[in-house]
Amino acid sequence: MTEQLLELRGVNKAFGPVHVLYDIDFDVHGGEVVALVGDNGAGKSTLVKCVAGIHPMDSGTARFRGEPVHLNDPKAASVLGVEVVYQDLALADNLDVVQNMFLGRERGSRWALDEITMEAATRETLASLSVRTVSSVRLPVAALSGGQRQTVAIAKSVLWESTVILLDEPTAALGVAQTRQVLQLVRSLADRGIGVVLISHNLADVFEVADRIAVLYLGRLVAEVRTAEVTQAQVVELITAGRSGDLGLSRPGAASIPGL
């Protein structure tokens, strides 16, 4: 059994009159990749931001390793080891790989940075993830490909000993070879015991690396299934209609969702 790192129960979130999340129960286990899928507007980004402490939950509870926690700001989430790699990556193009890895957390004194230990730590982290596509850690990020940039952003979260990493569309706009590299990296994160949440519209990627799939539909978590036990067609039906056969919403319950 894998360790249960994060446990959310009964999470609700609204922005004014617009109710975005309805009674969400969601778990993240160490050593496992759970894919969070859903159509645009299903609530994926809002749920991720609640986990990251960016949006406070209106109601519901959170536990980390069995202990109650309050994810009321990004610092509280970061202290627990929860990191988000957003689609825009938040990297500084004018800085090199080392400088980006330690941006805001530089080592050294107020008079001089400890470039030697920061570079060594960067190399060690990339090597531990079997990253061989970055030829030099002193290359500016502007000179890297999309896949290499994604690798640096993910490695940065590993450097700070994250326990839960949420990846927002990590393969978006990447070529075939770059996508392959990133997916291998995602799998290696889980192999290190990290709990990985993969937010993606690409079901081929999801079925390649995810152990579980959680489907959001109009703000509700309608299904949470083992990847090996469903087909892509079933997941598509869950995403678009909220149900597929015996999975997801029952037909009487569907009427309670606004817009149905």
Q: What is the pLDDT of residues 22-57, one digit of tens each?
A: 999 999 999 999 999 999 999 999 999 999 999 999
Interval 55-94: pLDDT, tens = 999 999 999 999 999 998 888 998 999 988 887 667 888 9
How would you class 204 by CB atoms within 10 Å of its CB: exposed for 0-12, middle for 13-18, buried for 19 or more? exposed
Span 207-213, average pLDDT: 96
Per DSSP bridges, beta strands 82-85 and 247-248 are unpaired
For residue 208, pLDDT beyond 80: yes
pLDDT score of 256 more than 70? no
Rounded CA-CA distance 117/135 in Å is 19
Mode of pairing for the β-strands spanning 212-217 and 33-37? parallel
Contact partners, residue 9, CB within 8 Å, separation at least 6: 25, 60, 61, 62, 63
Assign 259 a pLDDT band (cuts: 50, 70, 90): very low
3-state secondary structure of 228: helix
Please list the residue range(s) of the chain that carry CATH number 3.40.50.300.
1-81+162-260
* Res 260: pLDDT: 43
CATH of 1-81+162-260, one of 1.10.3720.10, 3.40.50.300, 3.30.420.40, 3.40.50.1110: 3.40.50.300
- Would you say 254 and 238 are in contact if contact means Cβ atoms under 8 Å apart? no
pLDDT tens readout for residues 164-204 = 999 988 887 777 888 888 888 899 899 989 999 999 999 99
Q: Identify whether the C-beta of residue 185 lies closer than 8 Å to the C-beta of residue 85.
A: no
- Average pLDDT estimate for 3-30: 95
pLDDT tens-digit readout, 127-169: 888 787 788 899 999 998 888 888 888 888 888 888 999 998 8
Which pLDDT does position 16 carry in this prediction?
92
Q: How many helices (H) and strands (E) does the chain have?
A: 9, 12
Q: Looking at residue 153, what is its pLDDT? A: 85
Share of the chain above pLDDT 70, in %: 95
pTM, entire model = 0.86
From the CB of residue 206, how many other CB atoms can be counted at a distance below 10 Å?
A: 21
| End-to-end CA, the chain | 39
How far apart are the C-alpha atoms of 9 and 110, rounded to whole Å?
Answer: 44
In terms of Cα–Cα distance, which of 164, 160, 144 is closest to 152?
144
State the residue for tokens 């299903």.
42
What tokens appear for 204 in the block? 């081929």
pLDDT in tens, 229-242: 999 999 999 999 99
Query: How far apart (Å, rounded) are the C-alpha atoms in residues 255 and 260?
Result: 6
